[in-house]
Amino acid sequence: MKFETAATTNPIDQLKVVGRPTNRTDGPLKTTGRAPYAYEHQVAAPNQAYGYVVGSAIAKGRITKLDVSRAEEAPGVIAVVTASNAGPLKKANRNTATLFGGPKIEHYHQAIAVVVAETFEQARAAAGLLQIEYAREQGKFDLEASRASATDPKKITAGASDTSVGDFEGAFAKAAVKLDATYTTPDQSHVMMEPPATIATWEDGNLTVRTSHQMVDWARSDLATTLGLEKEQVRVITPYVGGGFGAKLFLRADVIAAALGARAAKRPVKVALQRPLSVNNLVHRPATIQRIRIGAERSGKITAIGHESWSGDLPNGKPDGAVHQTRLLYAGADRMTRTRLAILDLPEANAMRAPGEATGLMALEIAMDEMAEKLGLDPVEFRIINDTQVVPDVPAEPSSDDPQARSDSGGTDEHSAKELRFSQRHLVECLRTGAEKFGWSKRNKIPGQMREGDWLIGHGVAGAIRGNKQMKSAARVRLDRGGVVTVETDMTDIGTGSYTIIAQTAAEMMGIPIDKVVVRLGDSAFPVSAGSGGQWGGNCSTSGVYAACVKLREAVAQKLGFNVTDAAFEDGQVRASGRALPLAQAARDGELVAEDVIEFGGVTEESEQATFAAHFVEVAVDAFTGETRIRRMLSVCDCGRILNPKSARSQVIGGMSMGVGAALTEELAVDKRFGFFVNHDLASYEVPVHADIPHQEVIFFGDADPMSSPMKAKGVAELGISGVAAAVANAVYNAVGVRVREYPLTMDKLLAGLPQIA
């Protein structure tokens, strides 16, 4: 099915099942421990041995000696695999560094060996017997120190590295009110609860991995490439994923180590990366340095806006896309964005929840508050004044009578600019609704004036945007004699509720209760889905199920002698022309099977697809110590039709909680001498816990977007983190009057500006 024109009325619009707050169908399995995660497939892969991954102790250089003899002789050891006996290994395009290193070392904790033994304890003990010597080389581990040597990467995830509309420098110089500020965000880790883990099994030259991965087809393709196999020789199974947040989008060392270990041991091998390797061996969110310049008229209208960002990665890596949201969120005729990439020898940088938007909005939304203060405007009103329904970062087209005219000749007036509108944009409504619900009018615009005992109280706001990308997605549906519909797709459930919204979609389309739907996910033997990433998974995977169900409805109608355009599927029956027959009757002669793929184009490319939010936060800051506590949070979200309000809310409040961590505690401490993340465990990398997160409220604007998909839905998960850190930072400033531009906002950065103690 091709989705090329705006969706019209369809069966999903009945909203009998879709759109209802529905308990997670996988909830009972998870709460009772019956949902098998990657490390727990004991029966499917019997006689498992244990692999223990050894990571490099240097960040850059070479291994000069790797003696495995003592380890091989240790009790219970079956095999020791290193680069010398692993066989030829390639690097897939989605990996920046090789996943199994040696003798060359590209980053700290790069996997250099896997020890396989009868028990985990034996494997770990034997790993300690490896004798390894290195020749260390000087590396670059400091973004600020490497900033001057950063280069134009030509491309970021969200498009070109640089953009320019009009004459930014000239307009900024002429602006009545100006802001020129630099902000920094630190390296951050995903620290998902389930570490990367894999059980690998070989049979007749074919490899099956039961692993924890967000994108099944990517894993299958890249694993085949890395090991020199045909794609058909690889099967990937990942029915349950205990969190990923982007770290499990890409093939990682646990999969390769398990596969190599199993091949050497000639039996199934299971591997889980220990927590330090989950931080240093996995990808991480890179640190950024961001310079933002805003010029405005005294009325508050932005006339010039510029955003420059520097980040680092290994050679052939890519930069953070921090500037992307600045191209879309606020109006301003003359604009510029610029991205630069420094080569660093730290572990690989890559996607972490809302890559680009999360970091960019941490800076932009503080800058917007600072500019509002300079103008003497309320921060909410300043954002509303600069709303736009047209993408502002679209250069003017040359006029027909002046072929030399270019976008730098004078701005974006309506006669010369290409106009690209948003399919839907309700940011103003989000801001106004949130302000009313939150009680924004009670905020004291003068910082440091609201106090309750020893606590200084502050209120903060931030706007947010996150793209709504469409990805091709396929599914297969089966109808059996009992009227049960089974859905099969390689879509994953990473804790987001995929099982449930897919079941809701099939139930709505086929007119049956949700308990008559069986959903099977996370297996490369199933049709290729959009996968879980970029907040495209829910909308796109359900659209693929929608397409397959359209075909199944056609097959059912034909079998029962109905015209499908007249047939109504409801209450387990098919009705048309005064007749009604049980849905199950269509399968009385055998199972009916239908498969289809949703492909996007046309209308989805003719408008800018995005989601929007307004985040409001109240904090209390201890007037003596600078300790910050979150008191309440509100997010108002504009993200199309909500397929399951219960799981959607869970995704948003999870994102909000991550935003609190980004604002107040999360920072990977870089050892700039030796190139590793020092706090590589959950004892020292601090994330918010339940006690840190009090009342959270989420309001959805549930307007269906017919230009997004037949589901008329959009992504929601990553919108929840975008902008939240800045809302916290703005609330802290309102509480104490100390403006911190270096995340996280730890107590030491506030102390000097706290009220004097009598």
The pLDDT tens digits of the residues spanning 188-225 come to 999 999 999 999 999 999 999 999 999 999 999 999 99
Q: How confident is the model at residue 414 (pLDDT cuts 50, 70, 90)?
A: very low
CA-to-CA distance for 328 and 646, rounded, in angstroms?
29
CA-to-CA distance for 354 and 364, rounded, in angstroms?
15
| pTM to 2 decimal places | 0.96
CA-to-CA distance for 249 and 721, rounded, in angstroms?
18
Whether the per-residue pLDDT at 527 is higher than 80: the answer is: yes
**Predicted local distance difference test score (pLDDT) of residue 756:** 80
Of 124, 43, 42, which Cα lies nearest the Cα of 76?
124
Rounded mean pLDDT, 44-60: 97
Interhelix angle for 498-510 vs 537-560, to 10°? 30
Q: CATH 3.30.365.10 residue ranges in the chain? A: 2-35+471-600, 143-189+284-373, 421-466+609-753
CA-to-CA distance for 489 and 215, rounded, in angstroms?
12
- In CATH, the number for domain 143-189+284-373 is 3.30.365.10
- In CATH, the number for domain 2-35+471-600 is 3.30.365.10
The pLDDT tens digits of the residues spanning 597-650 come to 999 999 999 999 999 999 999 999 999 999 999 999 999 999 999 999 999 999
Topology of domain 38-138+198-275 in CATH is: Aldehyde Oxidoreductase; domain 3 (3.90.1170)
Mapping DSSP to helix (H, G, I), strand (E, B) and coil, where does residue 142 land? coil
Of 705, 602, 672, which Cα lies nearest the Cα of 138?
672
The pLDDT tens digits of the residues spanning 673-687 come to 999 999 999 999 999
Q: How confident is the model at residue 397 (pLDDT cuts 50, 70, 90)?
A: low
The pLDDT tens digits of the residues spanning 688-730 come to 999 999 999 999 987 999 999 999 999 999 999 999 999 999 9
Whether the per-residue pLDDT at 61 is higher than 60: the answer is: yes
Whether the per-residue pLDDT at 411 is higher than 70: the answer is: no
Mapping DSSP to helix (H, G, I), strand (E, B) and coil, where does residue 374 land? helix
**Residues 537, 542, 546, CA angle at the centre, nearest 5°?**
155
Whether the per-residue pLDDT at 395 is higher than 80: the answer is: no
**Predicted local distance difference test score (pLDDT) of residue 157:** 86
Of 642, 632, 634, which Cα lies nearest the Cα of 613?
634
Other C-beta atoms closer than 10 Å to the C-beta of 625 total 12
- Specify whether the CB–CB gap between 253 and 225 falls below 8 A: no
Residue 556: CA count within 13 A, CB half-sphere: 36
**Predicted local distance difference test score (pLDDT) of residue 419:** 87
Of 358, 281, 296, 340, which Cα lies nearest the Cα of 150?
340
Q: Two tokens at 385?
A: 């004044």
Whether the per-residue pLDDT at 403 is higher than 60: the answer is: no
- Specify whether the CB–CB gap between 50 and 123 falls below 8 A: yes
Of 120, 367, 458, 111, which Cα lies nearest the Cα of 257?
111
Q: How confident is the model at residue 740 (pLDDT cuts 50, 70, 90)?
A: very high
**Predicted local distance difference test score (pLDDT) of residue 396:** 56
Q: Two tokens at 121?
A: 């304890």
For the four alpha carbons of 536, 282, 493 and 703, in that order, the dihedral sign comes to negative
CA-to-CA distance for 60 and 37, rounded, in angstroms?
34
**Predicted local distance difference test score (pLDDT) of residue 88:** 96
Q: CB within 8 A of 119, min separation 6: which ones?
A: 50, 76
Rounded mean pLDDT, 461-479: 98
Largest CA distance in the chain: 88
Residue 127: DSSP 8-state: H
Interhelix angle for 724-736 vs 357-375, to 10°? 30
**Predicted local distance difference test score (pLDDT) of residue 714:** 97
- Rounded mean pLDDT of the chain? 95
Residues acting as catalytic residues = 718
- In CATH, the number for domain 421-466+609-753 is 3.30.365.10
- Torsion (CA) 151, 153, 156, 161 in degrees, nearest 10: 70
Listed as own residue / partner, the contacts of 396-405 with beta carbons closer than 8 Å and 24 or more positions apart are 396/165, 396/166
Of 661, 663, 677, 645, which Cα lies nearest the Cα of 731?
663
